[in-house]
């Protein structure tokens, strides 16, 4: 297991300070604020630790309310909304400096048999044939006005092996193309068998690239390049089938709409053998600086 993955697992291992109150550490993302995927994953950890072990997360719906301060801890308060015979619902509020910065509702379910069908997995190259971040990012160093951006991106993603199928937005600035994007990802090391951990790790990664397809449609390189200002507004996920975040997952993303200073991304995440594991939808602020 990599040192970066160890550090990320420590970040997700919240401190319980009361029965339904948890505290998590923070750290800076590529930009000087807390990465949204970190807050979402930590909130799901907090919710999951108040749920019986035989109930797995099947959905989450969340709102990003304020920018997180990477220099301060985050306190997560869990509200036990409902404990039914099959489903459990939790609400989590993340607070910093006395103000809510994030709100999450999550639902958990005991396993049961039911009807089965799924959308087929789209075509994608084998992840082993694609360049790693360490191989790909330096090729685009000239795109960034900040000379330290490549190092910060590599550091921010060091716990995850994330490989773009096609060039990322910052690799084709000024060249609008179809609003679709694919990446393969897995953690840089094996994880324990706890299903909640794998769901939380996928939640963490899901916020990294989902709005890429919005940028591609307009030939924009994104926040790392500085030609747009962006932030996540809300984020929803549905977990359909078991998966492991330490095995390759295909993140197939597209953007059906951008308007009013906002962009919408939607995606499906498949296991390498073609099972539909997760559906994701996110809206974010996407503004062109004046």
Question: In angstroms, what CA-CA distances link 14 with 51, 74, 164, 208, 240?
Answer: 15, 10, 31, 22, 26
Other C-beta atoms closer than 10 Å to the C-beta of 273 total: 8
What are the backbone dihedrals phi and psi of residue 11, each rounded to the nearest 5 degrees, phi first? -65, -35
Annotated catalytic residue 266: no
Check if 146 is active-site.
Answer: no
**Interacting residues of 182 by C-beta distance below 8 A, sequence separation 6+:** 122, 124, 164, 165, 166, 250, 251, 252, 253
Check if the beta carbon of residue 287 is closer than 8 Å to that of residue 230: yes
Distance, in Å, from the CA atom of 286 to the CA atom of 290, rounded to the nearest integer, reads: 13
Show the tokens assigned to 192.
């324990």
Cα–Cα dist 280/203, whole Å: 9
Could you tell me the two tokens for 30? 């590529």
In the block, residue with structure tokens 């716990």:
159
SS3 state of residue 130: coil
Active-site choice (232, 253, 255, 266): 232
CA distance 174 to 37: 28
Given 42, 96, 253, 282, the catalytic residue: 282
Active site residue 206: no
Tokens at residue 103, please?
């709100």
* DSSP at 67: -
Instruction: Write down the catalytic residue from 207, 212, 227, 252.
Output: 207
The 3-class SS string of 270-288 reads EECCCCEEEEEEEEEEEEC
Active site residues: 207, 232, 282
């Amino acid at each position: 297991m990599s040192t970066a993955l160890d550090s990320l697992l420590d970040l997700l291992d919240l401190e319980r300070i009361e029965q339904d109150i948890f505290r998590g550490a923070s750290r800076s993302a590529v930009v000087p604020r807390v990465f949204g995927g970190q807050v979402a994953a930590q909130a799901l950890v907090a919710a999951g630790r108040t749920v019986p072990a035989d109930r797995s997360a099947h959905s989450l719906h969340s709102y990003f309310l304020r920018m997180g301060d990477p220099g301060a801890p985050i306190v997560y308060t869990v509200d036990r909304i409902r404990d039914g015979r099959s489903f459990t619902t939790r609400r989590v509020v993340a607070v910093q400096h006395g103000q809510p910065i994030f709100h999450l509702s999550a639902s958990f379910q005991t396993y049961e048999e039911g009807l089965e069908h799924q959308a087929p997995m789209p075509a994608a190259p084998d992840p082993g044939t694609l360049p790693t971040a360490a191989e790909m990012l330096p090729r685009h160093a000239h795109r960034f006005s900040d000379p330290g951006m490549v190092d910060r991106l590599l550091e921010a993603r060091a716990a995850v092996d994330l490989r773009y199928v096609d060039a990322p937005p910052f690799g084709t600035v000024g060249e609008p193309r179809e609003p679709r994007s694919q990446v393969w990802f897995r953690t840089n090391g094996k994880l324990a068998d706890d299903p909640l951990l794998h769901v939380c790790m996928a939640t963490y990664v899901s916020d990294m690239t989902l709005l890429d397809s919005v940028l591609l449609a307009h030939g924009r390189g994104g926040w790392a390049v500085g030609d747009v200002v962006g932030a996540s507004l809300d984020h929803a996920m549905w977990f359909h089938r078991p998966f492991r975040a330490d095995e390759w997952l295909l993140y197939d993303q597209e953007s059906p709409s951008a308007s009013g200073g906002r962009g919408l991304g939607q995606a499906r995440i498949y296991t390498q053998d073609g099972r539909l594991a997760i559906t994701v939808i996110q809206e974010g602020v996407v503004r062109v600086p004046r």
